[in-house]
């Protein structure tokens, strides 16, 4: 199988840049409409668009449960209700075959898999050295239930069947949950630009902001209203809440970033502002 491992980019007329993923199939280089969603993909999944200090990633929505109160702030992935869309093979020492160091294709045992179902996902391998590799493409399951994964980086250490552990993930952007029924333990992968009520997107493609200043709904107390509040976290419904030693959410909340606006301190009479802009701490 011959694959194209070149990353493509195009500087557009508005000084934004479109980054196509390696092994792109569609190759659309037109300016994206960040406020629209598509019923069929017009860009490759995980295509990036960087503009005005922000990064957006082309993603696919999946509906899990009903909408929450703060619908437009809420994109949830990698939690119990969506696990079937994320974890393809849990930690196992029987699924990966034996391969020498230096190869960029590996065979795993997984029946019922469609071609490129794992594309732009991740595989984690390890015995004494743990290796994480991105997946550029995959074959469909053959009659023996074998799937070939094309890796973005060759193996640094051999894999041994029945010895090397493996966990296989689908792309984190292939099934971004749009609302859900379990708000307690959530992982926010970004903030949508579109204005669509939660629970109404299921299978559509849209742009998700993963980097740059962003403001979403604040919790009841707001963020930044207290003296020197700097760190922010996502609560269960995608709102921003303070993230410090007194934060009641504790370790179940995901860190969002730092407030960019100045907050109140003891040296000045500056009035703090609720729900200040926050720099997202991811750029996947």
User: Domains of the chain: which residue ranges?
Assistant: 8-81+173-212, 85-169, 231-281
Q: Which one is predicted more confidently, 11 or 34?
A: 34
d(CA 100, CA 81): 37
Q: Which one is predicted more confidently, 150 or 61?
A: 150
Residue 189: band (very low, low, confident or very high) from pLDDT cuts 50, 70, 90: confident
Query: Range with the lowest mean pLDDT among 76-90, 97-111, 175-189?
Result: 76-90
* pLDDT of 128 strictly over 90: no
Residue 71: band (very low, low, confident or very high) from pLDDT cuts 50, 70, 90: very low
d(CA 153, CA 149): 12
Considering the domain 85-169, what is its CATH architecture?
Beta Barrel (2.40)
Query: Range with the lowest mean pLDDT among 80-84, 157-161, 169-173?
Result: 80-84
Residue 278: band (very low, low, confident or very high) from pLDDT cuts 50, 70, 90: confident
Q: Is the pTM of this model over 0.85?
A: no
How many helices (H) and strands (E) the chain has is answered by: 1, 19
Q: Which two tokens stand for residue 183?
A: 């708000």
* pLDDT of 138 strictly over 70: yes
Query: Range with the lowest mean pLDDT among 85-89, 107-111, 139-143?
Result: 85-89
Q: Report yes or no: 74 and 181 within 8 Å, Cβ to Cβ.
A: no
Mean pLDDT over each residue of the chain, to the nearest integer: 79
Residue 101: band (very low, low, confident or very high) from pLDDT cuts 50, 70, 90: very high
* pLDDT of 182 strictly over 90: no
pLDDT digits (tens, 9 = 90+) for 190-208: 888 887 665 577 889 999 9
CB under 8 A, 24+ apart: contacts of 134-142: 136/3, 136/5, 136/22, 136/23, 137/1, 137/3, 137/23, 138/113, 139/1, 139/115, 140/113, 140/114, 140/115, 141/110, 141/111, 141/112, 141/113
């Amino acid at each position: 199988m011959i694959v194209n491992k070149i990353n493509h980019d195009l500087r557009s007329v508005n000084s934004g840049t479109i980054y196509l993923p390696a092994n792109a199939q569609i190759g659309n280089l037109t300016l994206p409409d960040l406020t629209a969603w598509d019923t069929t993909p017009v860009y490759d999944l995980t295509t990036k668009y960087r503009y005005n200090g922000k990064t957006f990633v082309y993603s696919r929505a999946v509906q899990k449960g009903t909408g929450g109160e703060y619908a437009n702030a809420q994109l949830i992935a990698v939690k119990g209700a969506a696990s079937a869309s994320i974890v393809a093979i849990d930690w196992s020492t029987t699924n990966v075959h034996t391969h020498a160091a230096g190869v960029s294709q590996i065979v795993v045992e997984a029946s019922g898999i469609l071609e490129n179902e794992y594309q732009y996902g991740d595989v984690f391998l390890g015995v004494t050295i743990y290796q994480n590799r991105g997946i550029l493409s995959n074959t469909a399951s053959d009659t023996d239930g074998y799937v070939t994964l094309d890796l973005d980086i060759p193996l640094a250490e051999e894999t041994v069947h029945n010895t090397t552990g493996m966990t296989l993930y689908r792309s984190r952007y292939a099934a971004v949950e749009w609302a859900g029924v379990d708000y307690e333990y959530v992982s926010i992968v970004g903030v949508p630009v579109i204005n669509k009520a939660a629970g109404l997107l299921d299978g559509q493609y849209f742009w998700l902001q993963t980097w740059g200043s962003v403001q979403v709904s604040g919790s009841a107390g707001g963020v930044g209203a207290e003296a020197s509040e700097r760190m922010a976290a996502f609560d269960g419904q995608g709102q921003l809440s303070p993230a410090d030693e007194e934060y009641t959410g504790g370790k179940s909340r995901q860190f969002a970033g730092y407030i960019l606006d100045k907050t109140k301190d003891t040296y000045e009479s500056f009035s703090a502002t609720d729900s200040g802009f926050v720099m997202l701490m991811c750029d996947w």
